[in-house]
Amino acid sequence: MACRHVEVAGIYSHFANADAADLSHARLQLERFHEALAVYEKLGERSPMRHIANSAAILQLPESHLDMVRPGILLYGVQPGPECPLTLPVRPALTWRSRVVYFKVLPSGHPVSYGSTWQSDHPVRVVTVPCGYGDGFPRALSNKAHVLIRGARFPVVGKVCMDQFMVNLGQGTAYNGDEVVLVGAQGGEVIRVEEVAERADTIAYEILTGISSRVPRAHVGD
């Protein structure tokens, strides 16, 4: 602390379990953080900026807010975890869209995508969407995800490819250029990031940070 070339601007830590239903470990961490701050203050140094609260702690541990807070996933209007409900009036800030590029009627028994992991037992209409795991749409969503087309939910079928995936419209209709919503709202339907993460057996953070630079970004509104 005596080094004249170093000025301490802040002291911080990070919670491991602030998104849990049981906050006992988070409160223990906060207690230890205060103990560390007390040691620093005994040195007679100027009190620095103190911060420890992540998105989950912003929602569940108001006593941890101190001098500033560090919202991350909360800025997207997304739950930090399934046991950490949104108690602030935030809303989803991200919509992920693509377009239909191909429409085909498949006969009964015709397989779809790599490995032939899906086939219909009756004639169906299938569309191709130009988005895949190279864009950040996880391969783990193969035969699990849903998307929105024309305000209705439809299942992703077959393996998600690097650059595209296929959607079963059943007897529905779509045309090349129709909007496909992977995350967001369309008509009266909504697909939240949390749902996508659960279907991929991962966390919302991974879905959000995994959207690759191949996906164009557009800022809409204020």
Q: Encoding tokens for residue 110?
A: 């015709």
Is there a contact between 185 and 139 (Cβ–Cβ < 8 Å)?
no
Q: Encoding tokens for residue 53?
A: 């609260």
Is there a contact between 159 and 114 (Cβ–Cβ < 8 Å)?
yes
Q: What is the mean pLDDT of the chain?
A: 95
Which has the closest alpha carbon to 165: 76, 96, 73, 108? 96
Q: What is the pLDDT at residue 12? A: 96
Q: Taking 80 as the threshold, does the pLDDT of residue 3 lie above it?
A: no
Half-sphere exposure of 193 (CA within 13 A, CB side): 24
- The model's pLDDT over 141-182, given as tens digits with 9 standing for 90+, comes to 999 999 999 999 999 999 999 999 999 999 999 999 999 999
Could you tell me the pLDDT band of residue 24, with boundaries at 50, 70 and 90?
very high
Domains of the chain: 10-76 (no CATH), 96-210 (2.40.37.10)
The most distant pair of C-alpha atoms in the chain lies apart, rounded to whole Å, by 79
- The model's pLDDT over 30-50, given as tens digits with 9 standing for 90+, comes to 999 999 999 888 887 777 899
Could you tell me the pLDDT band of residue 2, with boundaries at 50, 70 and 90?
low
CA–CA distance, 215 with 136 (Å, rounded to integer)? 9
Which has the closest alpha carbon to 182: 142, 117, 118, 131? 131
What phi and psi, each to the nearest 5 degrees, are found at residue 51? -155, 140
